[in-house]
């Protein structure tokens, strides 16, 4: 599998985009920055898995719909748990903030199809299997385990990493990479807790105790303003941080 980082930050400023990852160019994980891709690459995306409803993970869905008029390549399936899809329908695709592009057709097909998924369910998108994990954030949230052949990766989305999740992930065979949220540096511990994000120290404490597998931890969702301190703290504990444009073979 090829993991491409389209954007991996907890906010946006010049040179730093919100969160989106691509698996082999065709499956997207979160939609914070997919519209930064050129049209050729936007056309390739057929499935988008949303971790939660926060704006920094969904906002590029809006320009994707407009781009579809000049570049339609069939309906794009948007997967998410019930709360995420409900929020998307009620607050964004409500014909007030943005048109309901699940009802707008091109060549007889809707631009988006919303696909509800449940915790612990596995979606088969040959040759991939995507399993939904419950995660802990300020809104209902899901993480995804993506398996293809004899390798797999886990993407947590935003949220505090807890014992239960790490115990489950320790049992996953061939788990090569875990992409997890570290938003704030260690001195902002209280802010991290109230906003349901991690600091390097919070993550390291729980991973050392409960993760027994061989997967490598990759960090995303850093706030650019704190990047200097964050990089130093992450290096000290030997975690890898992602950056825009990076391609990782899993
Ligand atoms: Zn976020
Ligand atoms: Zn969030």
pLDDT score of 71: 87
Domains of the chain, residue spans: 2-249
Distance separating alpha carbons of residues 143 and 44, to the nearest angstrom: 23
Between the CA of 122 and the centroid of ligand 2 the distance, in Å, is 23
Distance separating alpha carbons of residues 34 and 38, to the nearest angstrom: 9
Between the CA of 57 and the centroid of ligand 1 the distance, in Å, is 6
| Ligand that comes closest to the CA of residue 138 | 2
For 95, other C-beta atoms within 10 Å of its C-beta total: 8
pTM for the model stands at 0.97
pLDDT score of 238: 83
Between the CA of 126 and the centroid of ligand 1 the distance, in Å, is 28
CA distances to 77, 153, 155 from 232, in Å: 39, 25, 23
| Ligand that comes closest to the CA of residue 53 | 2
| Ligand that comes closest to the CA of residue 221 | 1
Between the CA of 70 and the centroid of ligand 2 the distance, in Å, is 31
Between the CA of 107 and the centroid of ligand 1 the distance, in Å, is 34
**Predicted confidence pLDDT, tens digits, the chain (250 residues):** 999 999 999 999 999 999 999 999 999 999 999 999 999 999 999 999 999 999 999 999 999 999 999 989 999 999 999 999 999 999 999 999 999 999 999 999 999 999 999 999 999 999 999 999 999 999 999 999 999 999 999 999 999 999 999 999 999 999 999 999 999 999 999 999 999 999 999 999 999 999 999 999 999 999 999 999 999 999 888 899 999 999 999 9
Main-chain dihedrals φ then ψ at residue 118, nearest 5 degrees:
-115, 160
Cα-Cα-Cα-Cα dihedral of 187, 189, 190, 196, to 10°?
140
Between the CA of 41 and the centroid of ligand 1 the distance, in Å, is 23
pLDDT score of 5: 98
Ion ligand 2 residues within 5 Å by Cβ: 54, 158
Selection from 159, 172, 242 nearest residue 211 by Cα: 172
pLDDT score of 11: 97
Structure token pair of residue 191: 């802010």
Between the CA of 224 and the centroid of ligand 1 the distance, in Å, is 13
| Ligand that comes closest to the CA of residue 59 | 1
Between the CA of 106 and the centroid of ligand 2 the distance, in Å, is 32
Main-chain dihedrals φ then ψ at residue 91, nearest 5 degrees:
-105, -20
Between the CA of 147 and the centroid of ligand 1 the distance, in Å, is 24
Between the CA of 9 and the centroid of ligand 1 the distance, in Å, is 8
Domain 2-249 annotated CATH 3.40.50.300: no
Between the CA of 243 and the centroid of ligand 2 the distance, in Å, is 19
Which residues face 132 on adjacent strands?
144
């Amino acid at each position: 599998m090829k993991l491409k980082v389209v954007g991996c930050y907890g906010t946006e400023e010049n040179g730093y985009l919100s969160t989106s990852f691509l698996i082999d160019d065709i499956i997207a994980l979160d939609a914070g920055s997919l519209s930064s891709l050129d049209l050729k690459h936007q056309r390739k995306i057929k499935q988008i898995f949303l971790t939660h409803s926060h704006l920094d993970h969904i906002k590029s869905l809006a320009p994707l719909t407009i781009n579809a008029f000049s570049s339609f390549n069939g309906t794009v399936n948007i997967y998410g748990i019930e709360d995420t899809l409900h929020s998307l329908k009620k607050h964004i695709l409500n014909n007030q903030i943005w048109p309901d592009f699940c009802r707008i057709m091109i060549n007889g097909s809707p631009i988006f199809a919303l696909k509800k998924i449940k915790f612990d369910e596995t979606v088969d998108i040959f040759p991939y299997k995507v399993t939904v994990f419950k995660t802990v954030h300020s809104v209902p949230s899901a993480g995804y385990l993506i398996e293809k052949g004899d390798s797999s990766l886990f993407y947590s989305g935003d949220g505090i990493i807890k014992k239960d999740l790490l115990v489950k992930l320790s049992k996953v065979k061939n788990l090569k990479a875990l992409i997890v949220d570290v938003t704030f540096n260690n001195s902002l511990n209280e802010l991290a807790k109230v906003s349901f994000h991690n600091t390097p120290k919070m993550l390291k404490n729980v991973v050392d105790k409960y993760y027994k597998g061989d997967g490598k931890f990759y960090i995303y969702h850093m706030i650019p303003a704190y990047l200097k301190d964050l990089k130093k703290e992450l290096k000290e504990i030997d975690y890898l941080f992602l950056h825009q444009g990076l391609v990782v073979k899993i």
